[in-house]
């Protein structure tokens, strides 16, 4: 993931979707807005379900020349030939994922609001770290404040992703101090996901 002056969009799938209809929706979104990377992020732990979803989403992503990573499942990323994995346990699994997937794979780590975890993940060999949520009351109620992103962008070269509870106001505030915005459930519930994404995109400029 290359660093840009204007943040890029890192698209995240819904936690559940109908394979047939979602592929068309996803293709329309990828065609209508520049996307840096796509993350398959299903709530299901059913391996067959995950594999079928990965196959469907990969075809759409690669047709649009967009890299596809999967949440958590390093083994499936390797087996299915995906572009990498997004880890949700901070720095703990980074070294093992890097060893399993090789130097060319994308390995990212979600680090909540922990500067220390982010630094450790970077030292362990990840390609980016993400902090969040930036608004709302998700998880334990903790928020990744603007000051964290500001410090990171000034002190650390590793790309940083903002995710969780993105609003147009939050995006405008964070745009100068983050490299990517991970956009997911903020758009998929809308009548027109592409239009919702383009509104957030406009707030990044």
Kindly report, residue by residue over 37-80, the tens digit of the pLDDT: 999 999 998 999 999 999 999 999 999 999 999 999 999 999 99
Please check whether residue 124 lies inside any domain of the structure.
Answer: yes
Please check whether residue 1 lies inside any domain of the structure.
Answer: no
Kindly report, residue by residue over 146-176, the tens digit of the pLDDT: 999 999 999 999 999 999 999 999 999 999 9
Report the pLDDT value the prediction gives residue 7, as an integer from 0 to 100.
97
Report the pLDDT value the prediction gives residue 193, as an integer from 0 to 100.
98
Please check whether residue 105 lies inside any domain of the structure.
Answer: yes
Please check whether residue 2 lies inside any domain of the structure.
Answer: no
CB-based contacts of 164, cutoff 8 Å, min separation 6: 132, 133, 134, 135, 136, 138, 144, 182
Report the pLDDT value the prediction gives residue 2, as an integer from 0 to 100.
40
Measure Cα distances from 178 to 40, 61, 118 in Å.
22, 24, 14
Please check whether residue 53 lies inside any domain of the structure.
Answer: yes
Expressed as residue numbers, the domain containing 44 is 8-204
SS3 assignment for the chain: CCCCCCCEEEEECCCCCCHHHHHHHHHHHHHHCCCCEEEECCCCCCHHHHHHHHHHHHHHHHHCCCEEEEECCHHHHHHCCCCEEEECCCCCCHHHHHHHHCCCCEEEEECCCCHHHHHHHHHHCCCEEEECCCCCCCCCCCCCCHHHHHHHHHHCCCCEEEECCCCHHHHHHHHHHCCEEEECHHHHCCCCHHHHHHHHHHHHC
Mean pLDDT confidence for 77-100: 95
The CATH number of the domain where 18 resides is what? 3.20.20.70
For the chain, what is the domain count?
A: 1
Residue for token digits 């979707």? 17
Kindly report, residue by residue over 102-154, the tens digit of the pLDDT: 999 999 999 999 999 999 999 999 999 999 999 985 556 789 999 999 999 99
Q: Is the pLDDT of residue 1 over 50?
A: no
Q: Is the pLDDT of residue 195 over 60?
A: yes
Please check whether residue 3 lies inside any domain of the structure.
Answer: no
**Long-range contact set of residues 102-107: C-beta below 8 Å, sequence gap at least 24:** 105/77, 106/1, 106/37, 106/67, 106/69
Residue for token digits 């994922």? 97
Q: What is the pTM of this model?
A: 0.94
């Amino acid at each position: 993931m290359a660093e840009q002056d204007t943040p890029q969009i890192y698209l995240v799938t819904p936690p559940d979707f109908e394979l047939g209809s979602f592929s068309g929706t996803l293709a329309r979104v990828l065609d209508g807005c520049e996307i840096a990377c796509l993350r398959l992020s299903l709530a299901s732990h059913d391996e067959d379900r995950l594999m079928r979803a990965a196959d469907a989403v990969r075809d759409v992503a690669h047709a649009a020349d967009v890299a596809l990573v999967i949440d958590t499942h390093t083994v499936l990323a390797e087996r299915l030939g995906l572009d990498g994995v997004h880890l949700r346990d901070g720095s703990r699994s980074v070294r093992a994922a890097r060893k399993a997937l090789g130097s060319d794979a994308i390995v990212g780590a979600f680090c909540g609001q922990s500067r220390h975890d982010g630094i450790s993940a970077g030292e362990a060999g990840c390609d980016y770290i993400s902090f969040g949520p930036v608004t709302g009351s998700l998880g334990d109620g903790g928020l990744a404040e603007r000051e964290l992103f500001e410090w990171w962008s000034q002190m650390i070269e590793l790309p940083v992703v903002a995710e969780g509870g993105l609003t147009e106001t939050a995006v405008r505030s964070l745009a100068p101090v983050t490299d990517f915005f991970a956009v997911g459930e903020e758009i998929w519930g809308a009548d027109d996901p592409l239009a919702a994404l383009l509104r957030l995109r406009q707030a990044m400029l």
